[in-house]
Every structure is written in C-alpha cells, then in structure tokens.
Amino acid sequence: MKIIGLDLGNRTLGVAISDSLEIIANPIGTFRFDDLNLKAALKYTVDIIKEQGVQKIVLGLPKNMDGSIGFQAEYCLKFKAMLEEALPLEVIMIDERLTSKIANSTMLSADMSRQKRKKNVDKLAASIILQSYLDRRK
C-alpha cells in the first residue's frame, strides 16, 4: 500500500510518497498555489492520490513549540476536513514541529545553494513527516 505525506504551507504543498512496502518515503515534488488557496491544493492532492494509487494520507500538523494549536495548525485541520470529504481515505495528522528546520539543515550539510534549498525544502519536509510516520509504525 502506498502512503502520501503532505507538508502544507500558505502557498506550497510538499509531497512525498512511500514505496509499496511502506518502508521508504520518497519526496516527489512541491506544488505552488495562490496564497491560502486550499481548493487548488486539494485538487492537486486528489489527482496525485488517484494517479499513484495512494491508500492513506499523512498530513503534517504544525503545532506551536508549546504544543498549542495556532492559525497554521487550524489551516491544516481545515485541509484535513476537505481531504476527508473528497476522499474515502484515512488522514493521519503528524506533529511536524521543526521538520522544515531539519530539512534545511540536511540540505545545508549537503552544501546546497540557498536557491536549491528554497526549491526543495517543502518536499523534503513532507518526506521527513512521512518517514517519521513509517518508522513509528514499525
């Protein structure tokens, strides 16, 4: 079964998909959309899910450092509700605190340019979110 991992931002959606054995998360891309346009993000996500035969969704939940829920987390919870309405799939929320920082640190240690880091941070963060879910289940 394939699982999709999503890192939702205000204008970007990082996407990663697991292998069919559910062992490895592979970053596949970043979708860019108009500011806060969840309908565009939803359409893109539904298309990828159908194209790839995904059977489960893992969505990052950006809690505040103290564990509370802020605007960005509410935004992601709204997207979760939209996904559940559009698709008959389970949507699992994963605490994504610091995933973008980890992704940036990883790319810095690989000596990536700022431009490449900016281009790849969302899909790498989605991969980290998905991989943490896959690892936790084992």
Would you call 20 exposed, middle or buried from its count of C-beta atoms within 10 A (0-12, 13-18, 19+)? exposed
Q: What is the pLDDT of residues 35-50, one digit of tens each?
A: 999 999 999 999 999 9
Q: What is the pLDDT of residues 66-104, one digit of tens each?
A: 888 889 999 999 999 999 999 999 999 998 866 666 665
CATH code for the domain in which residue 16 is found? 3.30.420.140
Give kind and range of the element (H or E) at residue 56.
Answer: strand 54-61
Sign of CA dihedral 116, 136, 2, 87: negative
More confident residue, 98 or 14: 14
Sign of CA dihedral 86, 4, 75, 12: negative
**Domain span holding position 125:** 2-137
pLDDT of 73: 93
Domains held by the chain: number: 1
Instruction: Tell the residue number behind the tokens 């943490």, with chain if given.
Output: 132
